[in-house]
Amino acid sequence: MTAITDYSPFGAEVKANPYPYYAWLREEEPVYYNARLDLWALSRYADVMLAARTPEVFSSYMGVGPDKRHGLNMISNDPPVHTRLRLLVSKAFTPRMVEQYAPRIQAIIDELCDAVVAKGTFELIEDLALPLPVTVIAEILGVDPEHRTDFKRWSDEVVHFVAGTPHGHPREQYQQSWEEFTAYFSQVIEKRRQKPRDDLISLLVMAQEAGDSLTMIEVLNFCQLLLVAGNETTTNLIGNAVLALSAHPEQERMLRDHPALIPSMVEEVLRYDSPVQLLFRTTTRDVEIHGTTIPAGSKVALLWAAANRDPEAFADPDRFDVARTPNQHVAFGYGIHYCLGAPLARLEARLASETLLRRLKGWRPHPNDPYERLSHPLLRGLQRFPLLCEFA
């Protein structure tokens, strides 16, 4: 490999394998500036943690992508707006509430696996990793899973819009999806106002704190946020888990011998090959780190995935170890913007992993049909992953 001299999250080589670039950044350029893109990047664990816990300096208000346009949802806001929104929605999305979905999630996984067995072939993303979270989040929200193709398309368009380029993804490409999304979910929200049901949209509509409640646009924005976060992170987490186990068969054998390690394995996949590689912040004032001043108004990439392989924070960080402990990764972020849906992603990944290990005696990547990676600056996952399997 040629010597690394620069970094861009939009570079093809970086999207294919960012980890050598992260190592170079941590060692040589911990406070990196790409003048061509006018973007900064923080890669060391301690620096990423510092930025994440100081939203008054590293603000989310100007968006979590590279474009300097503020968003309306919870992750694109700072206190006090963020505090108000999180307080209202967190009551409708607690870990205890998530755990009650476990039997239904398991049933969905079993149905998808039954279809795989009947078909006799297994394309992990299409057959399991993609339909599982789309179906789950649709049912939790209380909308018809038959529209999951639309949900996935709307979710993808949001992701592409947020990631875009440093100068912004064309807003027109996003506008049509937003209008379709709004038309559909507005009807559902109004129905729940008139007649609440046992679903998350009803809980959001009824959520109140000290006489305050969510407006229509706030409920819409939170539904959109859940649709995106509920899809992308979990799909990538499941795909990255199976890929990592395929590349480390001794770790798969350890899981089969010790199934109690599966939750630990999920945490290690989150650290080792983080589904969300980075998000952006915007500085509210000049800030000095390691003798370098990042000017006010700068876009700064918080490289979660680089922090998760920092040797100052993790022993032998490039080793995949399903029994790793401690494992204080930042794959779900840190601070006030820690991912609200983390318990759901963990639950789906754990149940999917338990089921695959139980129902498959073994698997390996298809030798004549190689997997395809997503080409995305913010996300890391698989677009296709055909497997050869021995069914139990």
**Sheet with 122-123: strands ordered across:** 122-123, 386-391, 360-365
Least confident of 99-108, 159-168, 266-275: 159-168
Residue type, 380: R
Confidence of residue 4 (pLDDT cuts 50, 70, 90): very high
Q: 336 and 79 in contact (C-beta within 8 Å)?
A: yes
Letter string b/e over residues 123-150, b meaning 16 or more CB atoms within 10 A of that residue's CB = bbbebbbbbbbbbbbbbbbbbeeeebeb
Mean per-residue pLDDT for 20-49?
A: 98
- What radius of gyration do the chain's Cα atoms show? 21
- From 155, 141, 136, 151, select the one nearest 191 (Cα to Cα): 141
pTM above 0.75, yes or no: yes
Residue 163 has pLDDT above 80, yes or no: no
**How far apart, in Å, are the Cα atoms of 74 and each of 87, 204, 246, 289?**
11, 14, 37, 27
**Higher pLDDT pick, 97 / 328:** 328
Q: What is the rounded CA–CA span in Å between residue 83 and residue 332?
A: 18
Domain architecture of the chain: domains with CATH: 12-391 (1.10.630.10)
Give tens-digit pLDDT for 252-306.
999 999 999 999 999 999 999 999 999 999 999 999 999 999 999 999 999 999 9
Is beta strand 39-42 parallel, antiparallel or unpaired with respect to 299-302?
Answer: parallel
User: Which pLDDT belongs to residue 308?
Assistant: 98
pLDDT at 147 over 60: yes
Find how far residue 248's CA is from the centre of its chain.
23
